[in-house]
Amino acid sequence: MTIKKVRVRFAPSPTGGLHLGGVRTVLFNYLFAKKYDGDFVLRIEDTDQNRYVEGAEAYILDCLKWCGLLPDESPAAGGPFAPYRQSERKSIYREYAERLVRQGHAYYAFDTPEELEQNRRDIPNFQYGHAYRGGLRNSLSLSEHEVDELLDAQTPHVIRIKVPVDERVVFHDMIRGHVAFDTNQVDDKVLLKADGMPTYHLAVVVDDYLMKITHAFRGEEWLPSAPVHLLLWEYLGWKNDMPHWAHLPLILKPDGHGKLSKRDGARLGFPVYAMNWFDAKTGELTPGFRELGFLPEAFLNLLATLGWNDGTDQEIFTLDELIEKFTMDRISKAGAKFDFEKAKWFNAEWIKKSEAGSLKPEVKKILEDKGILATDEEYLLKVIDKVKDRCVLLPDFYQQAGYFFEQPKEYDLPSVKPKWTTAKTEFFRELISGFKAVDKWEELELETLFKALAEEKAIKAGEVLLPFRIMLVGGKFGLHVFDIAAVLGKEKTLDRIEKALAVFVA
């Protein structure tokens, strides 16, 4: 027996932004493929033209690029099974639908949308299936002659699967184990629409087969569709080539009640999409993790832990570690609650862990957006190294690092003025002279000099430390104050003390 090369696919419909659950599906696909030296395919399932949204495909690709999860085959990269956009494969599918009709596993249905609407109104819980199909206008109920006539007259029609009565469809899911469905609960899904486009159900099976997909990961919400797909694999005679299924656990709202939706994000104040998504039709902007200031490494890390763990307490993983440690038996069946505080913790850990050099482009941009041009690269790297442990989201670099590049625009005067004394003015005047004479401009030197002067002047160091900080940064934040002075350098430190002093004594 030859061992097949592992081939997985992410098969999104381009209908809008990419939910974090979608990116987790990509990640698990990717980890599995890379672990077994396989191929990761991106296939765009755009057969539902009514739900097609301009720009959504490019957005999906951008998300994958940002995350560093690039497909081996895709509409953009091409590949041996191109095209990878189902709308461009339209001509492929009819043949399979017709084959199913010939074999008696599918049938033509001529019911008009109005007739179906009427049925839905008249019959509670109407489903087009074994209970009613005998009385509807289709090739099961009409005579062969009538059907031929309708077909010859090019009467609009669809092709539906004929789901068998009283059967059980079973399969083995890599996460859920044995899964069984009662066919009496499954309706006769449309396979080919009146316009000749396949539906998702037919296209997904045909393409997974033609593209030689060996393992199919998708969200749990697709489980109800599985019996239709299994029947199609069987009826088309491809059962032995069917991929191994893995229906991934849902990502739940923070309180564990139900699937995390786009609306929950807006309600609870955190992103649900990978990147900002702008809907041109509604003018609505849905915020993304990227724009909020997440590192892609942190985003992937947090997604990996939503429904998976390696069996130890380890929480921080690089992509390479994930590839090495990922195993299917450690994916849980239960839904995973999303916790935004935990998500931010991952980001803070990743910022800490990152080299200043790799953070530099993002930080530079954040400062630039605030009008700060950090041209001295070495100084910028030094500052990033100093403050990165204090940043949770990338924009925090502005508050934590901005003051190294620009003088305070305003001072927290209420924290200084009421307690200001002439003794303090004296102290800072002498501090300026003392600092001017310092040769070794280092944290410890500055602190020693500062404290010695306070003692000499009989001022408690605590009383002048806060004003000193406010002189340098404007408020009650930032690094250890002598560390700030050391990084700023002599000239800037003296300049800031002098400027602030003028304001404080005024």
CB of 161 to ligand GLU, least distance (A): 16
Tokens describing residue 451? 């404290």
CB of 203 to ligand GLU, least distance (A): 9
Q: Residues binding ligand GLU: what is the number (CB under 6 A)?
A: 8
Catalytic residue among 35, 193, 259, 262: 262
CB-based burial, 370-394: b 16+ in 10 Å, e otherwise: eebebeeeeebbebbebbbebbbbb
- Check binding of 204 to ligand GLU (CB under 6 A): yes
Tokens describing residue 321? 């570690």
Residues 346-385 binding ligand GLU (CB under 6 A) are: none
- Check binding of 220 to ligand GLU (CB under 6 A): no
How far is residue 456 from each of residues 195, 274, 317, 416, 444, measured CA to CA in Å? Answer: 91, 58, 53, 22, 18
Residues 166-195 binding ligand GLU (CB under 6 A) are: none
Say which residue the tokens 């939910």 belong to: 19
Instruction: Respond yes or no: is residue 262 known to be catalytic.
Output: yes
218 vs 325, which CB is nearer to ligand GLU?
A: 218
203 vs 359, which CB is nearer to ligand GLU?
A: 203
Tokens describing residue 301? 């890390």
Nearest to 231 by CA among 181, 273, 282: 181
213 vs 295, which CB is nearer to ligand GLU?
A: 213
Nearest to 8 by CA among 169, 248, 181: 248
| Of the candidate residues 59, 96, 200, 428, the single one contacting ligand GLU (CB under 6 A) | 200
- Check binding of 199 to ligand GLU (CB under 6 A): no
CB of 222 to ligand GLU, least distance (A): 5
CB of 79 to ligand GLU, least distance (A): 18
Distance CA 127, CA 190 (A): 12
Q: 432: phi > 0 → left, psi -120 to 50 → alpha, else beta; which?
A: alpha
26 vs 391, which CB is nearer to ligand GLU?
A: 26
14 vs 271, which CB is nearer to ligand GLU?
A: 14
Distance CA 185, CA 214 (A): 28
CB of 215 to ligand GLU, least distance (A): 11
Say which residue the tokens 């003028």 belong to: 502
45 vs 396, which CB is nearer to ligand GLU?
A: 45
- Check binding of 222 to ligand GLU (CB under 6 A): yes
* Largest Cα span, the chain: 112
- Check binding of 198 to ligand GLU (CB under 6 A): no
Residues 6-65 binding ligand GLU (CB under 6 A) are: 11-13, 45
Instruction: Mention every residue, 6+ apart, whose C-beta is less than 8 A from residue 293.
Output: 347, 393, 394, 395, 396
Could you list the active site residues? 262
The residue ranges that bind ligand GLU (CB under 6 A) are 11-13, 45, 200, 204, 218, 222
